[in-house]
Structure 1
Amino acid sequence: MLPFLSISQPNTQYIMLSYWENKHFTSYDFIIIGSGIVGLSTAASLAELHPNKSILVLEKGIFPTGASTKNAGFACFGSLTELLSDLDYMPLDMVMHLVDERWSGLQKLRCRLGDEAIEFIQDGGYELLSDEEIDALDAIDAVNKMLFPLFKKDVFHIKDELIEQFGFNSGMVQSVVYNPFEGQIDTGKMMRSLLNYVQQKNVTLLTGSEVLHFEDSGSDVRVEVKNTATNSPIAFSAQKLAICTNAFTPSLLPNLEVKAGRGQVLVTKPIENLKFKGVFHMDEGYYYFRNHGNRVIFGGGRNLDFQGESTTEFATTDQIIHTLQQKLKDVILPQQDFEIEHKWAGIMAFGKNKRPIHKKLSENVAIGVRLGGMGVAIGSSLGEKLAHQLSE
């Protein structure tokens, strides 16, 4: 950790500000870059710890830019095959730490905002296993034993009778694994509630504010922000800075090991007599679907084109959307007619392992990024850790 830090080249030609603007709008105790789940959770925890301190959140988009308002709304912590895959390349204690972090983060989110405000519904999580994955059932007892210290109950249960009950294709789904601890949220309600929460605690949020440069002098941190109204940036200052930019972090910290991963999602029109409720995973979590009322939200397919989906471009592709539609038709809704109403994409961040990056970059700058597609679960706990770190 360096005693001071300067990233990119500062622009010395700042916009001319009034006496009042300089006095009341540019200096804060804490500045947070990024208004996604982690950024707003960091702001919330800082406001709880320091109710009399000034806090500014800077967001380059009109809405949070990455995946916080674009995810499918899963309150989950890892399917059976996903955890088994993790155990293939991560030590047991690291996998347990990840699950614990996800679970505690979900509890923190629910406790802070309330289940009604985020529309949390605990209909359970399910995994659909194919012929190629059926051997995972041999490990279910061992995984339940591994997770027992956290949950005090068995997490995974075989529920093959649900294949017919939920209307899935029995020729393509060989088993269903049930997890009673998981649930779903309304992503938009959650983010609006989190935004309202921090604003009620006098946190300032500026959207359309792209950070170009920051510098830790040792005594404070200067943050240079693009001003869309002029060609001259605006300089803000703070005692402490948190960077919560996830997939977009390389624009500020190009040497950090963060790789973008796009997630494409679609939603159907309302389906008459939809047979299932809950959140569902297939193929080690690379495909995921859920009900939202009597609609189906279905996303994934990044594994079809890892290189092509390692992008920050907000777009869908014919290849992945066609695959999602085909799986809806062949596996999930084989006996029902459906129409696609809308499709979109969000941008996640990944690395060589699933551990988030959470550390101090300098005396007054800390970072919390690379959530591995688990922002809903990890965001609140990561924000809390960042807040405590910046309070030291």
Structure 2
Amino acid sequence: MQLSYWELKNWFTHVDFTVVGSGIVGLHAALRLREKFPESKILVLEKGMLPQGASTKNAGFACFGSLSEIIDDLKSHSEEEVIDLIQKRTKGLQLLRKRLGDAAIDYKPYGGYELFLENDDTFYSECLGKLPFINEILNPVFRSPVFAKEVDRFGFGGSKEYLIFNPFEAQIDTGNMMQELLKQAVSQNILILNQQTVTSYLEKNDHVEVALGDFSFPTRKLLFATNGFASALTGGQVKPARAQVLITQPIPNLDIKGTFHLDRGYYYFRNVGDRILLGGGRNLDFETENTTVFGETELVQKKLEALLKEVILPNQEVAIAHRWSGIMGMGNSKKPIVTQLSDQVYCGVRLGGMGVAIGSLIGTELADLV
């Protein structure tokens, strides 16, 4: 990379903070650093044309976990850990809304629903049985019941008569959210360079030397906000998880409004205006879907199409408009990793598929480590 004097001077000289990753976490970290250090020089590096992982690719669920997800989490996490996670997610959503504004992100509080397939008797009974207990442990957070049984008014096929309704859930426009975040970053004199991959870094006495291929530059502090791509940084504590998604063509007289969960959160769908967005299915083949490679597989796409045509919109002809995938960051624990890796290097990763909810808070916490 041959750079001019002007390029070196304006972008790569006297850099105080370099943030790797321009997604929800990275931009919130940069904006928080600007609040803390008004005169600092902040550079954000992004390896994609747009934020590469899931920030511009997610389904736009403003949620903190369905009833079955929470019950499932309690099998591998303590009650205290699960409540803390839900508190963080709700706090993160409040932070996101406060920073960007509901109008900018097209926040729609339609509520969230969970449906259960007809043959899922055991888990359905477990969820209904534990519903009062989950409401009780979440009462200190929400001050009112979160989950309630409600008759399915949407006409879903092959599912139980009752849905579980959550009035605290909403949907947002993912593209609008990221555009507004990028606008705020630029307005705060935060420099953003796209299609720049950090290939290595070397910590020195008073700075970190950051390599972009055969070019390197010094920065006082280095912050990683690379979520699903952070396995090497964290000694394997973060595992990539690909999420495959599809969206339909517009559907006349679509009556479905809200965010919907199925099978412990492994499947999810929502309306986007008069379209249905549907994603998930990585549980069909965890090994294949634990990847940083974008793309779709026939196994998952066929399952999504079957759910669409048999459960969500039974007896309707529906055309698929578009398919894509995103990369999330998972691990053995759902607790995010926000830590100082060394004297001048930090990371905020492993969002557990809840980037919209928790990303703003993790970005803020990451910046507050400095």
Smaller-chain TM-score bracket? over 0.9
Contact 1:79 1:284 (8 Å CA) reproduced: yes
CA distance in 1, matches of 2:167, 2:11: 48
Cα separation, partners in 2 of 1:213 and 1:306, compared to 1, 3 Å: same
Aligned residue identity for 1:23: K
Q: CA deviation at 1:256?
A: 3.5
Q: Does 1:320 align with 2:300?
A: yes
Give 1:138-217 correspondences, 5 Å limit: 138-160=129-151, 163=152, 165-169=153-157, 171-217=158-204
Q: CA deviation at 1:20?
A: 3.9
Contact 1:267 1:343 (8 Å CA) reproduced: yes
Residue-by-residue CA offset, 1:327-374 (whole Å, 9 max, x unaligned): 111111114321111111111111111111111001211101111111
Contact 1:32 1:242 (8 Å CA) reproduced: yes
Q: CA deviation at 1:253?
A: 2.5
Give 1:46-125 correspondences, 5 Å limit: 46-125=33-112
Structure 2 residue aligned with 1:39 = 26
Q: TM-score normalised to the size of structure 1? A: 0.90
Q: CA deviation at 1:36?
A: 1.1
Q: SS of the residue aligned with 1:323? A: helix
Q: Does 1:25 align with 2:25?
A: no
4+ long deviations beyond 6 Å: none
Residue-by-residue CA offset, 1:71-103 (whole Å, 9 max, x unaligned): 111110000000000001100111011101111
Contact 1:218 1:364 (8 Å CA) reproduced: no
Structure 2 residue aligned with 1:235 = 216
Structure 1 residue aligned with 2:338 = 358
Residue-by-residue CA offset, 1:177-220 (whole Å, 9 max, x unaligned): 00011101111111111000111000000001100111222311
Q: SS of the residue aligned with 1:211? A: coil
Contact 1:120 1:183 (8 Å CA) reproduced: yes
Give 1:249-328 correspondences, 5 Å limit: 249-250=230-231, 253=233, 255-328=235-308
Cα separation, partners in 2 of 1:167 and 1:335, compared to 1, 3 Å: farther
Q: Which moved more, 1:176-185 or 1:44-53?
A: 44-53
CA distance in 2, matches of 1:166, 1:113: 32
CA distance in 2, matches of 1:222, 1:142: 52
Q: CA deviation at 1:156?
A: 0.5
Residue-by-residue CA offset, 1:50-72 (whole Å, 9 max, x unaligned): 22211000011111111111111
- Runs of 5+ in structure 1 lacking a partner? 1-14, 227-232
Residue-by-residue CA offset, 1:15-57 (whole Å, 9 max, x unaligned): 5655444433213111000111111111111112222211000
Contact 1:47 1:198 (8 Å CA) reproduced: no
- Runs of 5+ in structure 2 lacking a partner? none
Residue-by-residue CA offset, 1:107-127 (whole Å, 9 max, x unaligned): 100000001111111100110
Aligned residue identity for 1:167: G
Q: SS of the residue aligned with 1:273? A: coil
Residue-by-residue CA offset, 1:266-293 (whole Å, 9 max, x unaligned): 0011111112200000000000000001
Q: SS of the residue aligned with 1:237? A: strand
Q: CA deviation at 1:154?
A: 0.7
Aligned residue identity for 2:66: S
Contact 1:39 1:244 (8 Å CA) reproduced: yes
Aligned residue identity for 2:361: S
CA distance in 1, matches of 2:108, 2:205: 46
Q: Does 1:247 align with 2:228?
A: yes
CA distance in 2, matches of 1:35, 1:16: 24
CA distance in 2, matches of 1:193, 1:93: 34
